[in-house]
Structure 1
């Protein structure tokens, strides 16, 4: 089957010439990995390695996705086609080509599109969908993945990534396309007119909306200095522009401000990894900066470093999220601006600390599955019903949304609000770490961490499935000597607690397991939706930070043993 697919590509008259030589020089292992399956178009779209093959991101697999998306839009009628699709892209290899190729495939179906003139953040693509009242959106990005990757994400008319029910309708149509090589992007002059290039008009409206989130716009901005890096990605212009207009003092890591698809001046573009802070830390020490802000390439995630007691401490996504929640909710409360029936959203793998902070201010917390589309779906639901009012949403993976004029994680918003919080607290003689430690003392000592097994290729995918299957079949009663008091299985939709089994409701089925322990900690396991990894999430509660850390190491060791 692999050889058959390989030969079909190698000898197909429509094969893009740039792929021919790569195919001819493939080893048997490379050939197998590139053709053993078809790259999955899942509920999060597609993400994978660049290159020729059915299991790769390339012009032909992107065209197949667009052919399916076009069929989905056509099924909604002529109005959907005329409302069209907004298309954005990041700095990665082939991103501009994939974006324009997408517009042309849609044009062949009579579907209008609005394509950004150059790279833009994912949140601005979400904003553009809403700004132009489009029927949907496409973002070409692999987010924080290494340079060898690219991807393709779809958005609905609300600017939210497609939720599973809608995504399945697209998936069915994508899967119905039998020959991705037969699809071309050749358009007539008339079809070309359906493609509109967009830019500054949308930028300006987006910036205005981002600036509108400020709670204390007159805070003394002379108090702090910021080191900012876009990691070669799309945050470069938007964050600089917003900071300049708001009056913040920042120094950009210039070596990482070029839109370099090879990410030449950073060990990794992922704010979850310490390597992404290396150069920024050098700048911070030289400039004696107060905070470091690192955005991933498509500017939906933000990492934070804080100078505290002479050293720079890197915050996790859970920690920076907790600080933002404390600042935003305290200010809304103090100013009498807290809306009625306020609600905050996070996910089933996000720390318990954020929920405790929210509850302290009378804010309800609703949990969703991992994936900001589920938070966007909730925002849309309450926007219509008026039953609850959004005040914040975030994930442990360094992404948050302050105001929902965007329906995805928005790093420019987060950068602006965190800078404001840093100024506000410094005026009181406190760092953001001081704020975090005060929350620990008040609400409990938590250490959140994540480990992962990287398992690539066909064998890796099978191994990840086996790990979840084995855990699901095991009756785990204790982990590192601590009793399991509750078990949740989001695929089988069951809760096991006190020898009783009941239904788990309110979530789409997902391959996630979660163990609650007697000491107030929990551990969750899930396959990554975007990388060849099995992820383990730990939210560990201790009597002190040292105790929480010691427990974390014990739990990580126990899970490693259980999943050998």
Structure 2
């Protein structure tokens, strides 16, 4: 039985004179079980940075684990020479508990290594951090955010000089340095006056440059917007000012959900800050019904994801990220095509767990679709590659998790751009007597009926982490050839880089190893499974092809039922 008084890591913390006093008080009040979860491992610094529960311990986000991460990043920057240190790092943060404090800890640790930093004066969106890194010619970027996670979480993400999240090969270098820190409590966060001068506060100048770039994405800036009503909620996060400002300047009638506009770290007036969850729209839909709005737009706290609810004869329907992504893609490509602005070798990017409708849309405009692993950094890497080779020209990128990018002056998901472009699409189609829901049905009629959905198993703690590993291991070893009523015609294992079709096995090319499994079925549907990189979840993705929406829905439910035995 676990006893915290025998846990050497716990004892190292409680006996350290350097332990933050607030964290010490929290530790004193914790049960053995809580202490075990807080110390049984080191919080993982993975390919998406760090994200976890706030609190004391090596497996939690706190000033000491944040300082440790910054030591690793600082040493990585130092390896790149004096010029990299002078160019420095842009730093942004969201509305969460301790976000500002973690941003300043980051700046101070970097300063202690002689590295300049540019810290936003107040909370800003993740996409603006990506923009700022490029705009200020910084060597890297940091954003303190837990994205769409519950209020108990916070996190830390790293960006390269291109404004893209660090790709695995670069993250590995940072991780090696992070792992060299054996005592995060010994990191000195006090800096001299000279070091303090390396920290610069930034704000409105960068805002204006970013707003100008966002407004420049419009394909029909002069379109009549007078009869379009948009209800908007930032879910207490960073999207509030930029989205409202961009709508104001472009002439859209934006109705903010006032109760959810304050930067509240407790998310007091929303059931969840995650736009993937239907309950997050409850209050906004009340606004929409009152004002007879055309659409409801919702951004997650760091404003890289955008969800949309559309009006269909007075009923407000939540679209999936696959659906809103396909709608945005179709609108952008149709306008580029109609205006003669489609580039010579257009390419759009999505991921291996993104539904098939978007690829069908792209192909109908003779636009190539390239798939990446989950994580917008891989899309950003592709954008950077083709920017150099000019072999292909970027026209769109999106993930199923409500994230898209219209123009690549940002190298991450950008909900502010997505909000503006979807507002324009709404105005365009309304002139034709159509809602976004009508347009979606048109896409299904043209390209096939797809139901894309996701089932997430939340498995917290050390036992949960092991359970997730066991699920993937068992599926990998089972070599399924049948799921429900459908035959498996192709199997892809992204961890072991294997493709299996019947008795034939070959190597899966073009991806770094990742713990993802994907089953293609003989009816044109597929199922993918992967552990979340940011939450204690195992995710099951379903892309089900049917003869109608109803048929796809029935088939999807049957497939989900068939997969239940592999998660018991």
In structure 1, C-alpha distance between the alignment counterparts of 2:64 and 2:392, rounded to whole Å: 44
Helix, strand or coil at the partner of 2:226:
helix
In structure 1, what is the equivalent of residue 528 of structure 2?
Answer: 524
Deviation string, structure 1 residues 225-276 (Cα, Å, up to 9, x no partner): 0000000000000000000000000100000000000000000000000111
The answer to whether the 8 Å contact 1:223/1:427 transfers is no
Q: CA deviation at 1:561?
A: 1.7
The answer to whether the 8 Å contact 2:289/2:314 transfers is no
In structure 2, what is the equivalent of residue 381 of structure 1?
Answer: 385
Instruction: Determine which of 134, 137, 153 is the counterpart of 2:138.
Output: 134
In structure 2, C-alpha distance between the alignment counterparts of 1:318 and 1:335, rounded to whole Å: 26
In structure 2, C-alpha distance between the alignment counterparts of 1:521 and 1:219, rounded to whole Å: 39
Given the two structures, how large is their TM-score scaled by the length of structure 1? 0.99
In structure 1, C-alpha distance between the alignment counterparts of 2:254 and 2:159, rounded to whole Å: 33
In structure 2, C-alpha distance between the alignment counterparts of 1:238 and 1:480, rounded to whole Å: 47
Deviation string, structure 1 residues 318-351 (Cα, Å, up to 9, x no partner): 0000100110000000000001100000000001
In structure 1, C-alpha distance between the alignment counterparts of 2:136 and 2:21, rounded to whole Å: 36
In structure 2, what is the equivalent of residue 68 of structure 1?
Answer: 72
Q: CA deviation at 1:208?
A: 0.2
In structure 2, what is the equivalent of residue 211 of structure 1?
Answer: 215
Q: CA deviation at 1:498?
A: 2.7
Is 2:112 the partner of 1:105? no
Is 2:156 the partner of 1:156? no
In structure 1, C-alpha distance between the alignment counterparts of 2:218 and 2:113, rounded to whole Å: 43
The answer to whether the 8 Å contact 2:240/2:261 transfers is yes
Is 2:48 the partner of 1:44? yes
Instruction: Determine which of 394, 400, 413 is the counterpart of 1:390.
Output: 394
In structure 1, C-alpha distance between the alignment counterparts of 2:188 and 2:286, rounded to whole Å: 48
Helix, strand or coil at the partner of 2:7:
helix
The answer to whether the 8 Å contact 1:229/1:257 transfers is yes
The answer to whether the 8 Å contact 1:163/1:377 transfers is yes
Matching of residues 233-312 of structure 1 within 5 Å: 233-312=237-316
Q: CA deviation at 1:222?
A: 1.0
In structure 2, C-alpha distance between the alignment counterparts of 1:475 and 1:9, rounded to whole Å: 45
In structure 1, what is the equivalent of residue 82 of structure 2?
Answer: 78
The answer to whether the 8 Å contact 2:95/2:264 transfers is yes
Helix, strand or coil at the partner of 1:221:
coil
The answer to whether the 8 Å contact 2:471/2:566 transfers is no
In structure 2, what is the equivalent of residue 26 of structure 1?
Answer: 30
Helix, strand or coil at the partner of 1:496:
strand
Is 2:118 the partner of 1:124? no
In structure 2, C-alpha distance between the alignment counterparts of 1:19 and 1:455, rounded to whole Å: 26
5+ residue gaps, structure 1, are none
In structure 1, C-alpha distance between the alignment counterparts of 2:309 and 2:362, rounded to whole Å: 23
CA RMSD of aligned residues (A): 0.7
Given the two structures, how large is their TM-score scaled by the length of structure 2? 0.99
Helix, strand or coil at the partner of 1:138:
strand
In structure 1, C-alpha distance between the alignment counterparts of 2:8 and 2:189, rounded to whole Å: 25
In structure 1, what is the equivalent of residue 180 of structure 2?
Answer: 176
Is 2:466 the partner of 1:462? yes
In structure 2, C-alpha distance between the alignment counterparts of 1:391 and 1:63, rounded to whole Å: 39
In structure 1, what is the equivalent of residue 357 of structure 2?
Answer: 353
In structure 2, C-alpha distance between the alignment counterparts of 1:498 and 1:365, rounded to whole Å: 26
Instruction: Determine which of 199, 202, 207 is the counterpart of 2:203.
Output: 199
Is 2:98 the partner of 1:91? no
In structure 1, C-alpha distance between the alignment counterparts of 2:120 and 2:60, rounded to whole Å: 25
Deviation string, structure 1 residues 135-160 (Cα, Å, up to 9, x no partner): 00000000000000000000000000
Give aligned pairs, total: 564
The answer to whether the 8 Å contact 1:225/1:250 transfers is yes
The answer to whether the 8 Å contact 1:86/1:128 transfers is yes
In structure 2, C-alpha distance between the alignment counterparts of 1:277 and 1:478, rounded to whole Å: 38
Deviation string, structure 1 residues 400-435 (Cα, Å, up to 9, x no partner): 000000000000000000000000000000000111
Q: CA deviation at 1:562?
A: 2.1
The answer to whether the 8 Å contact 2:276/2:307 transfers is yes
